[in-house]
Amino acid sequence: MAALAKKQEATAARLAEMAVPSGGQWITEAREAALARVKGMGLPERRDEYWKFTRPDTLVQSEVAEAATFETGEAPLFDEIERLKVVFVDGVFDAAQSDDLSAEGLVIERLQDVAGADIHWAKDLYGKLELKGQDPVQRPLAALNTAFASDGLVIHVTGKVSKPVNLIYKHAETSSDAILHHVIKLDAGAELTVLENGPAAARFNKVMEVDVADGAAFHHVRAQGRDHERRAVTHIFGRLGTESVFKSFTLTVNGRLTRNEAVLELTGDDAVAHVAGACLGDGDFHHDDTVFVTHDALNCESRQVFKKVLRNGAVGVFQGKILVKPGAQKTDGYQISQSLLLDEDSQFLAKPELEIYADDVACSHGSTSGAIDEDALFYLRARGVPKDIATDLLVMSFVAEAVDEIESETLKDSVLARLEGWLERRRD
């Protein structure tokens, strides 16, 4: 207990530097509860089992390590997609750069506005899925976010929305420290696609809580990229109702440190949850995918597909779990995490876990780490494809299974073009 007491003491000292934003009664209650949670758990330390492969120091400490902004010269991702743009600059909503937030089938509000009200429907969601996601594994940085976030979106989806909502995160200040908290509620049968892209800030802490009611569908495609020195910790908490669908894909390139947690709970029968990611890391790059999928209903399907391409000392981490609760029969769970190590300096650390308390389920998992396939490389070269282009083709081939998790062909093409651009810039 001495260790915990020490941790709590350090956490209290760190949190004393921060101020819980003021707001109406409902959000103040939620924030105070979250603050108490963080204080109780303590902020993550290197000794923590859940942070064994990723050093939390820079995500936790007072000083924000500076991060320069970086221009690739490419058109912004999703630019060619018809979408509703919502822009945040260093974690602050920018109305001038954003579209009009009113649209058919959904109500978009700003957390800051909603927080001023004494009562709002968001009280049933804000910090609630995060709280649920604290058990059995603690996620203190998510609770920290709930306590201190002052901006973000509160979205209520009532119908089938065809135009995606695109959250664009711009990074302007070299030492910006941004916290955003989004809450998304999909009514029964509703549909929404959320796109996210941009480097966001020098340090970024983001939580997204998504409640997908019966028969609703939520699609999420995200690209975290560009700025080489940025750091980010993100959490997505999802609750899935009967026959609902939740599909999330993340592309990560560049960035010194990224930890993406996805915590999904299948609470209604016949629900489908897919979470996938592809990352390309070159040099000073540490990418961590931590996923926890809980099956708590009949006949649900979940897939975790993660592919990491690493070179020049880049590090990839995967901690993925499928928990099948008692009675969650006919569960179909799949988990694959693979890395392609382009040199001997790079490393991949994986901790795949299955915990199953039902006897009629099909769960499979696999984790591999390997170099480029020399036979395939020779085959391509023997056809006249130069080595660098052949290698890139094989990299694209490697990440294909993860990118294929994106249902929309248009979005898939955008992501693939972005991957190709990244590879091309690195050719000799």
Partner 1 sequence: MLEIKGLKVKLENEDKQILKGVDLKVEAGKVHAIMGPNGSGKSTLSYVLSGKDGYEVTDGAATLDGEDLLEMEAEERAALGLFLAFQYPVEIPGVGNMTFLRTAVNAQRKARGEEELSAADFLKEVRAKAKTLKIDADMLKRPVNVGFSGGEKKRNEILQMAMLAPKMCILDETDSGLDVDAMKLVSEGVNALRDEGRGFLVITHYQRLLDHIKPDVVHIMADGRIIKTGGPELALEVEKNGYADILAEVA
Interacting residues with partner 1 between 378 and 397 (CB under 8 A): 378-387, 389-390, 393-394, 396-397
Token readout for 25 is 């009664």
Q: Which is nearer to partner 1, 10 or 372 (CB)?
A: 372
CB of 372 to partner 1, least distance (A): 12
Strand ranges for 97-152 from DSSP E? 106-110
To which residue do tokens 């709280």 refer? 131
Q: Which is nearer to partner 1, 82 or 388 (CB)?
A: 388
How do strand 106-110 and strand 191-197 relate by DSSP bridges?
Answer: unpaired
Cα(27)–Cα(98) distance, integer angstroms: 25
Q: Which stretch binds partner 1 (CB under 8 A): 18-26, 72-80, 127-135, 370-378?
A: 370-378
Q: Which is nearer to partner 1, 163 or 381 (CB)?
A: 381
Which of 398, 405, 418, 423 is the binder for partner 1 (CB under 8 A)?
398
Q: Which is nearer to partner 1, 363 or 377 (CB)?
A: 377
Peptide bond into 352 cis (omega under 30): no
- Contact between 399 and partner 1 by CB under 8 A: the answer reads yes
Cα(246)–Cα(271) distance, integer angstroms: 8
3-state secondary structure of 299: coil
Count of chain residues binding partner 1 (CB under 8 A):
24
Q: Which is nearer to partner 1, 9 or 388 (CB)?
A: 388
CB of 373 to partner 1, least distance (A): 8
Cα(287)–Cα(309) distance, integer angstroms: 11
CB of 358 to partner 1, least distance (A): 32
CB of 395 to partner 1, least distance (A): 9
With beta carbons less than 8 A apart as the criterion, state whether 300 and 331 touch.
yes
Q: Which is nearer to partner 1, 17 or 374 (CB)?
A: 374
Q: Which is nearer to partner 1, 5 or 371 (CB)?
A: 371
Q: Which is nearer to partner 1, 126 or 249 (CB)?
A: 249
CB of 250 to partner 1, least distance (A): 18
CB of 236 to partner 1, least distance (A): 26
Cα(255)–Cα(228) distance, integer angstroms: 4
Cα(405)–Cα(382) distance, integer angstroms: 32
CB of 377 to partner 1, least distance (A): 9
Q: Is 424 exposed, middle or buried (0-12, 13-18, 19+ CB in 10 A)?
A: exposed
- Contact between 359 and partner 1 by CB under 8 A: the answer reads no
Token readout for 335 is 């988990």
With beta carbons less than 8 A apart as the criterion, state whether 172 and 90 touch.
yes
Which of 48, 214, 269, 401 is the binder for partner 1 (CB under 8 A)?
401
3-state secondary structure of 153: strand
CB of 342 to partner 1, least distance (A): 16
Q: Which residues contact 330 (CB under 8 A, 6 or more apart)?
A: 298, 299, 300, 360, 361
- Contacts with partner 1 by CB under 8 A lie at 373-376, 378-387, 389-390, 393-394, 396-401
